[in-house]
Amino acid sequence: MTPYYEDDYVTLYHGDSLEVTDWTAADVLVTDPPYGRDWKSGSGMTNAEGRGRGSKAHGGIANDKDTQVRDAALGLWGRKRPAVVFGDPLIQQPGGAVQALAYVKPLDAGIKGAHAGFRRDIEMIYLVGPWPVGVGGSSSALTTGALVAGPRGLATRYGHPHAKPVDVLERLIAMTDGVVGDPFSGSGSTLVAARNLGRRAIGVEVSEEYCEKIAGRLAQQTLFEGVL
């Protein structure tokens, strides 16, 4: 299949990751799949003070009705190679998970839909498959220097409501070796992070709109490589 985008490090395909399976040739899986919570969003404020550019309503994410597509992709991957899988704390964890980390979002995140006054500001990161076991040193709570909400937030800059910060993905990818696979490429942050670390990556994204955004993001980075 002809890649939608390709450079020296990243190959991106447009299609269904259960059919376009080149990503299964990678050495490690790092992905932010549909969580299975049937997410949708109305328009409204984008930061704690209610200022900034109002967010547009979003009709939802492909294959987010349940975890079937996530689990089918993980079934293709198997449990003999390591996988890093983002997920919702209230949704069933993927099979074969050996540890759960937490992605702790910045102070401007998770305001809408809060229960009992607590922000919805964490997501899970599951380590699946074979991982080294020993004495721990790093916190399992991962934070970011990026903004999530507001006009300078990840969703606005990268054009995807669930865009993940590159610094968090760089830290996760740095724990591993080899080619990175991402069957749910979304905003492209995994692919960007892999290339930043000098790692090859293979991504698949079912939405052509998001493929276009990923390709533009990667092409822009290539344009400015080596520029101080």
CATH of the domain at 213: 3.40.50.150
Domain assignment present for residue 15? The answer is yes
> Of all residues in the chain, what percent carry a pLDDT higher than 70?
86
What's this model's pTM, rounded to 2 decimal places?
A: 0.88
Alpha-carbon span 141 to 123, nearest angstrom: 10
140 lies in some domain? yes
Q: Which domain holds residue 14?
A: 5-36+52-223
Q: Could you tell me if 37 and 61 are in contact, meaning their C-beta atoms sit under 8 angstroms apart?
A: no
In a domain, 183, yes or no: yes
Judge whether 10 lies within some domain: yes
- The answer to whether residue 44 sits within a structural domain is no
The mean per-residue pLDDT over the stretch 61-76 comes to: 93
Kindly state whether residue 41 falls inside one of the protein's structural domains. no
What is the C-alpha separation between 66 and 56, in angstroms, rounded? 24
Query: Which pLDDT tens digit goes with each residue over 135-194?
Result: 888 999 999 988 776 667 888 888 888 899 999 999 999 999 999 999 999 999 999 999
Closest CA to 187 of 157, 146, 228: 157
Q: Is residue 43 part of a domain?
A: no
Instruction: Read off the pLDDT band of 57 (50, 70, 90).
Output: low
Contact status, residue 128 vs residue 80, Cβ threshold 8 Å: no
pLDDT in tens, 112-150: 888 999 999 999 999 999 999 998 889 999 999 887 766
Per-residue pLDDT tens over the stretch 193-218: 999 999 999 999 999 999 999 999 99
- Angle (CA) 164-87-27 rounded to 5° is 75
Comparing 50 with 200, the larger pLDDT belongs to: 200
Which residues touch 123 (CB under 8 Å, ≥6 apart)? 86, 87, 88, 89, 102, 103, 105
Tokens encoding 112:
């809408």
Number of domains in the chain: 1
Q: Determine the average pLDDT of the residues in 14-21.
A: 97
Residue type, 212: E
CA distances from 223 to 109, 165, 218 (A): 31, 21, 9
Does residue 54 surpass a pLDDT of 70?
A: no
42 in a structural domain: no
